[in-house]
Amino acid sequence: MSFDLNLGLGMSNLGGGEDNNYDVVIIGGGPAGASAAIYTARADLRTLVIDKGLTAGALGITGKISNYPGVPGPVTGAELVEIMRAQAESFGAKFITDKVVGVDISGERKMVMAGTGAFYTKVIMLATGSMGRTSVVKGEEEFLGRGVSYCATCDGAFFRNQTVAVIGNNDEALEEALFLTKFAAKVHLVVPTPELKAREALAAEATTHPKIEVQLGTRLKEIVGNGQVAGVRVHPRGGDEQTLPVTGAFVYLQGGKPITDYLMAQLETEPNGCLVVDKEMQTTVPGVFAIGDLLCTHIKQAVIAAADGVIAAVAADKYIHGRKAVQTDWK
């Protein structure tokens, strides 16, 4: 057995301690989340931003930006996000790198469960963007739990000494591939794009790891098997299709759909799956706001997302201080 007996891991999940209590927890640290944090932190609200990583979102992987008002540029998306974060931090907002796995919005004291622990808060802002997947590949649903997984830390131990595939190009895919090397004999990293879209150091570590074989510019076509995953059919750009014999397929692909899975259907949506919000960006649950690209009726521009964040921040301040009327000015 290889799992860590460290009870500290579990303990940190209990939360509830003074350090885990916030006025505002913002999920997603892109332009919407960071802008909201600038305003809430400046209004003396104890603010936490939970983000998967600088290059996890749409802006983080954008190459050159020259049209963000006040920032002539050109700057990279990651640089622009860093400027916003530094500004929010200067007002006291705290940023952590983590993945949110669930929220409980049933009470006034709301809970956000992340990998490293539970956080309690009066207000939750959802700013997770819209890089969720729109479709699944053939075989993916059929073999879910039979070799298809979305969580290497959860399921890695079932693939000891086996050959597995990780499909994706971002930080998360690379981190999970590296985690799987602790168990698996070999990890095929199937990258759909011609290059990785991840932090440089992480990319270097993954591409030079003796157990990881990287295939750039290669699309996942199908997950095949008979009761269990037996392989992944892939198509390298300009090459012939091939089937890699693997028993596990860990999928971390992205698309253009709002990321709302961690909400576990606790919020009202429109028939098309989009979250319902009012003009202050508040969802149908008081104290829960949604901002930025997550709202699918949106113009997907950083400056619009930032403005959403500010509108929600103003409303959150009023919500927390029990004021009935939401005013549009900020004093």
| One of 14, 96, 185, 204 touching another protein (CB under 8 A) | 14
Instruction: CB nearer to another protein: give 13 or 67.
Output: 13
Rounded to a whole number of angstroms, the minimum distance from the CB of residue 153 to another protein is: 5
| One of 71, 83, 113, 274 touching another protein (CB under 8 A) | 113
Q: Could you write out the DSSP letters of every residue in 163-231?
A: EEEEE--BHHHHHHHHHHTTT-SEEEEE-SSSS-BS-HHHHHHHHT-TTEEEETTEEEEEEEESSSEEE
Stretch that binds another protein, among 62-70, 84-92, 98-106, 321-329 (CB under 8 A): 98-106
Which residues, other chains included, contact 141 with Cβ-Cβ below 8 Å and sequence gap of 6+?
Answer: none
| One of 76, 79, 82, 118 touching another protein (CB under 8 A) | 118
Stretch that binds another protein, among 186-194, 196-204, 217-225, 260-268 (CB under 8 A): 260-268
Token pair listed for 80: 């622009």
Residues 202-231 that bind another protein (CB under 8 A): 228
Stretch that binds another protein, among 1-9, 66-74, 234-242, 291-299 (CB under 8 A): 1-9
Site string for another protein, 134-163 (x = CB under 8 A): ----------xxxxxx-x-xxxxxx-----
Which residues, other chains included, contact 15 with Cβ-Cβ below 8 Å and sequence gap of 6+?
Answer: 111, 117, 118, 119, 120
Scanning the structure block, which residue is given the tokens 């530094």? 86
DSSP code for 326: P
Helices (H) and strands (E) in the chain, counts: 7, 15
d(CA 36, CA 15): 24
Backbone conformation region of residue 281, classed left if phi is above 0, alpha if psi is from -120 to 50, else beta: left
Instruction: CB nearer to another protein: give 148 or 313.
Output: 148
Residues 233-252 that bind another protein (CB under 8 A): 248
Rounded to a whole number of angstroms, the minimum distance from the CB of residue 194 to another protein is: 31
| Cβ atoms 177, 154 nearer than 8 A | no
d(CA 207, CA 216): 11
Stretch that binds another protein, among 186-194, 262-270, 285-293, 304-312 (CB under 8 A): 262-270
CA 316 from chain center: how many Å?
A: 22
**19, 23, 104, 155: which is the annotated catalytic residue?**
155
Distances (CA, A) of 257 to 11, 144, 176, 253, 292: 34, 20, 22, 12, 13
296 included as an active-site residue: no
3 binds another protein (CB under 8 A): yes
Instruction: CB nearer to another protein: give 19 or 278.
Output: 19
Question: Which residue numbers are catalytic?
Answer: 151, 154-155
Binding site for another protein (CB under 8 A): 1, 3-11, 13-14, 16-17, 99, 101-102, 106, 113-115, 118, 144-149, 151, 153-158, 228, 248, 264-266
